[in-house]
Amino acid sequence: MAKYDSGARGLKPSTSSRLPLFCSAARVGILRQLAGELPQRRRHRNLRMSDSKPVFVEVAPNAFVFREGDVGTDMYIIETGTVEVLREARGGDPIAVLGAGDFFGEMAILEDQPRFAAVRATSAARLLKVDRAAFAGMLRDNFEIAVRIMRKLVARLRRTEEQLQQAQNELDLLRRGGPDKAAPVKPSRDTVKSDVAKLSPTPSKRITPIDPNTIGKPIKLVHAPSGSEFALATGRQEMLIGRPDPVTGLLPEINLGPLDTQRSLSRRHAKIINEAGIFFLREEVGTTNGTFVNNERIATGQARPLAPGDQLRFGSVELVVQAI
């Protein structure tokens, strides 16, 4: 019988937990959801988490998976259903709502500390329970998942730094006696870096000639089957292409999620870079199913210039570049 965290109610072990993880397509499917993979184009290689037997957990609606302060030794990946993350310091209001393919509880494994927040099911949910041994194997064999976890932790650290900076600014304001005596707020390091980048953009590697007549002219990405169009903003330096990530709160500027019926996109799939009026396409680290320009896959991190008429593919989503 599987053991569960103290305070968890409504949790029942699944009868399928007796089957080896690496021979079950259902368990491979969960990892594909988490990594944003395309089932039709990816094989089972490197999707094995470990040779230990997996444990699936059935959670009833309104039941807690664990509570804030509980001892934590496992993380969970959601196969079906939704859960909400709660913190007492926030008055019990949900700070996040997670669905199929999302994960939670990894902080307790990484830090060996009590649970930072509580998690409660908002509907009937089925979860894959990952212990420390399986967690290590999952990171070793599935780099896409490792990258996504790192991004989640980096986003959390960035939010913490922003909150500390805001609190420091408010404290400085009080010490000066009010807004009239307040000194100008210094820009953050990220803002300084952003301004420097705008003034002197780093040249990208250009693998094809660029028509001078297209420089500085607005373009858009068009999805012919649905008629969806995504105009590229000339005033933005970067635009992320992908699908929303409720775990990190990420919402890409070019959201292809509704067009991705096969879940082939990574959540941070690629970026459009605007350098002096020239748009470049660059694949992000951790992308699984590739980024293609005119049927040629571009290497991760390599910037490829875009021009009207280019055929683009992100996973299974195909777009065409058109002039506006």
Distance separating alpha carbons of residues 268 and 301, to the nearest angstrom: 13
User: Does residue 215 register a pLDDT over 70?
Assistant: no
Pick from 1-5, 221-225, 234-238, 254-258: least confident: 1-5
Of these ranges, 189-193, 203-207, 314-318, the one predicted with the greatest mean pLDDT is 314-318
User: Does residue 153 register a pLDDT over 90?
Assistant: no
In tens, the pLDDT along 250-301 reads 789 999 999 998 888 888 899 999 988 889 999 988 788 899 999 999 988 8
The pLDDT of residue 132 is 80
User: Does residue 205 register a pLDDT over 50?
Assistant: no
How far CA 259 is from CA of 1, 93, 193, in Å, comes to 42, 32, 34
Pick from 14-23, 60-69, 114-123, 311-320: least confident: 14-23
| Cα of 6 vs its chain's centroid, Å | 29
Residue from 120, 84, 101 nearest 266 by CA: 101
The pLDDT of residue 225 is 93
In tens, the pLDDT along 60-79 reads 999 999 999 998 888 898 98
Confidence of residue 220 (pLDDT cuts 50, 70, 90): very high
Residues in the chain: 324
Distance separating alpha carbons of residues 77 and 247, to the nearest angstrom: 11
- Compute the chain's Rg from CA coordinates: 23
Contact 45, 143 (CB under 8 A): no
Distance separating alpha carbons of residues 156 and 159, to the nearest angstrom: 5
How far CA 289 is from CA of 67, 76, 262, 314, in Å, comes to 37, 24, 12, 7
Q: How are the residues of the chain apportioned to helix, strand and coil, as percentages rounded to the nearest 5?
A: 30, 30, 45
Which of the pair, 138 or 183, is modelled with greater confidence? 138
11-149 topology per CATH: Jelly Rolls (2.60.120)
Other CB atoms within 10 A of residue 203 CB: 9
User: Does residue 242 register a pLDDT over 50?
Assistant: yes
Q: Which residues pair with 130 in a beta bridge?
A: 75
Mean pLDDT of all residues in 85-90:
86
Distance separating alpha carbons of residues 21 and 48, to the nearest angstrom: 7
The pLDDT of residue 113 is 81
Mean pLDDT of all residues in 78-98:
87
User: Does residue 317 register a pLDDT over 60?
Assistant: yes
Residues 6+ positions from 318 with CB-CB distance below 8 Å: 223, 224, 311, 312
Domain regions of the chain by residue span: 11-149, 209-323
Pick from 11-20, 59-68, 176-185, 246-255: least confident: 11-20
Residue from 62, 33, 28 nearest 47 by CA: 28
209-323 has the same fold as 11-149: no
The pLDDT of residue 271 is 94
**Residue 134, SS3?**
helix
User: Does residue 23 register a pLDDT over 70?
Assistant: no
The pLDDT of residue 68 is 92
Distance separating alpha carbons of residues 67 and 65, to the nearest angstrom: 7
Write down the mean pLDDT value for the chain: 75
What's domain 209-323's architecture?
Sandwich (2.60)
Distance separating alpha carbons of residues 269 and 315, to the nearest angstrom: 9
Contact 47, 31 (CB under 8 A): yes
The pLDDT of residue 73 is 84
Start-to-end C-alpha separation, the chain? 62
Neighbouring C-alpha atoms within 13 Å toward the C-beta of 125: 31
How far CA 312 is from CA of 18, 267, 270, 319, in Å, comes to 43, 17, 11, 5
**Longest C-alpha distance within the chain, in Å?**
69
Which of the pair, 108 or 201, is modelled with greater confidence? 108
Pick from 59-73, 82-96, 134-148, 161-175: least confident: 134-148
Q: Name the pTM for this structure.
A: 0.48
Contact 66, 7 (CB under 8 A): yes
Confidence of residue 203 (pLDDT cuts 50, 70, 90): very low
